[in-house]
A and B are shown apart, each in its own frame.
Chain A
Amino acid sequence: SAVISQKPSRDICQRGTSLTIQCQVDSQVTMMFWYRQQPGQSLTLIATANQGSEATYESGFVIDKFPISRPNLTFSTLTVSNMSPEDSSIYLCSVEVWGERNEQFFGPGTRLTVL
């Protein structure tokens, strides 16, 4: 299993500013994932972060807007840059653990509101 923590749990930001979200895992993992979940909607994958290499972004998401760092096997950050109200959402990080079954573990999420 894996226990994931995120900071901050929530924030209210002004338009045009940036926010960096931290994700900490209690064990070493190869890949970490960042999702966005808009109110009442499903989860959308933003990018996959592999330690030691550039993150891989999904269609519709770009590095300039959502830069990601992955400095080691237990930590990652996602920055939401030049924010607008449309970026108001919950941002979740997750890891995937392969054992008897393949399972994703999710952090509690960061609730971002942009004014």
Chain B
Amino acid sequence: LAKTTQPISMDSYEGQEVNITCSHNNIATNDYITWYQQFPSQGPRFIIQGYKTKVTNEVASLFIPADRKSSTLSLPRVSLSDTAVYYCLVGVPMNNNAGNMLTFGGGTRLMVKP
């Protein structure tokens, strides 16, 4: 399984763009990259998933360089409600009893200040 490394914590201010980078040097050819968000007293929630280049949805963008050894979650114009822990996962998506995207790394604790 590809091991992931993220910063333990980050601080930001409301309205700023936040970029959280995850390193996964031994990512395998079939591995995808997925980010989850977790608020206190809740289970993690899916944010975004990608394989290569750039993926964008209504809440975030995911940038993946050509070598795929890292990825960057970008949160545009954060608000106080974006204060949470963000986890990067790497692995093969589960489908019909296969896959291994179940290992959570340490996560990044994002604090958004007024």
**Is B71 an interface position by the 8 A CB rule?**
no
CB of B103 within 8 A of CB of A45, answer yes
Interface of B is mostly: loop
Interface string of A18-56 (1 = CB under 8 A from B): 000000000000110101000000111100101000000
Known pairs A106-B43, A106-B45; A42 contacts B87 (CB<8 A): yes
CB of B97 within 8 A of CB of A42, answer no
Q: How large is the interface on A (under 10, 10 to 19, 20 to 34, 35 or more residues)?
A: 20 to 34
CB of B97 within 8 A of CB of A102, answer no
**Is A108 an interface position by the 8 A CB rule?**
yes
CB of B42 within 8 A of CB of A102, answer no
A68 to chain B, nearest CB (A): 15
**Is A77 an interface position by the 8 A CB rule?**
no
Q: List 25 A-B contacts (CB under 8 A).
A: A30-B97, A31-B97, A42-B87, A42-B104, A42-B107, A43-B44, A43-B104, A45-B104, A48-B102, A50-B97, A96-B99, A96-B101, A101-B46, A101-B93, A102-B34, A102-B95, A103-B34, A104-B101, A105-B46, A106-B43, A107-B43, A108-B41, A108-B42, A109-B42, A111-B41
